[in-house]
Structure 1
Amino acid sequence: MEPGNGKTGIKTLGLKLPDELHAQFALVAQLDGLSLTDAMRRSVELYVEHNQAQPDFAARAAAVLEEIEREAAARRGAIEALFGNTGTQPVETKATSKRRSSEASVQA
């Protein structure tokens, strides 16, 4: 995704490099006619592509997804324990209540 294309956001990374590696990176980027930002973006893209091509990548990703689902289930269980298993929803905040009240007024 290119910056400024109107799609979802851009994240900023701060990268700490030893002086020598930074100097080499800056020189290589300059020789390629790239800004450091563009060179870093290309480096990250290559890193992602390299890892996606690894034979165990899909299995590792599936394991992470399973862990995310386990954590979500544990959090869901904690919320259900707080509010009971009756399907009761958490109490609305004042801002949400006001918004819904004003929405109801508009619809009436």
Structure 2
Amino acid sequence: MSEPRPGVKTLGIKLPDALHAQFTLVAQLDRISLADAALRAVELYVATKRQEEDFAARATAALEEIEREAAARRGAIEGLFGETPDKPEAPKPTSRRKSATSESE
């Protein structure tokens, strides 16, 4: 078994037999390994999702939830050591990048 490389994760997936056979054939026709074909498929999936109309809003909501949970955990840890914050911190607003068209206006 090979040693894990830093910055690389291993993913194991289960495919129906027919899909696996098609996937294997397509990778062979393209003369690439199944690992490279799977990487390309994941990259395409991520790129496709990024283009969805509501994706940025859903990602922002997820980030805000992470920040709320982190603040709650921080408060719990501080409470363990008798530190009580004056008031709970509100999550800091995230900055949005301007598109090239809106920067030139």
Same fold (TM over 0.5): yes
Residue 9 of structure 1 and its aligned partner are, at CA, apart by 1.2
How many residue pairs get aligned? The number is 81
Aligned-residue Cα RMSD (Å) equals 1.7
2:20 maps to 1:34: no
Using the alignment, how far apart are the partners of 1:20 and 1:44 within structure 2?
19
Per-residue Cα deviation, 1:7-58 (whole angstroms, up to 9, x for no partner):
x511000011011110010001111111000000000000000000111111
Question: Which residue identity does 1:11 align to in structure 2?
Answer: K
Q: Match for residue 46 of structure 2?
A: 48
Using the alignment, how far apart are the partners of 1:20 and 1:38 within structure 2?
19
User: Stretches of 4+ moved more than 2 A in 1?
Assistant: none
TM-score (norm 1): 0.70
Mark the runs of 5 or more structure 2 residues left unpaired by the alignment: 1-5, 86-105
Bigger relative contact order (CA 8 A; separation at least 6): 2
Q: Match for residue 79 of structure 2?
A: 81
Mark the runs of 5 or more structure 1 residues left unpaired by the alignment: 1-7, 88-108
- By percentage of residues, which structure has more helix? 1
Structure showing greater radius of gyration is 1
Using the alignment, how far apart are the partners of 1:70 and 1:9 within structure 2?
27
Q: In the alignment, which of 17, 20, 24 is matched to residue 19 of structure 1?
A: 17
Using the alignment, how far apart are the partners of 1:67 and 1:30 within structure 2?
43
TM-score (norm 2): 0.72
Q: Match for residue 69 of structure 1?
A: 67
Residue pair 2:24, 2:34 contacting (<8 A) in 1 also:
yes
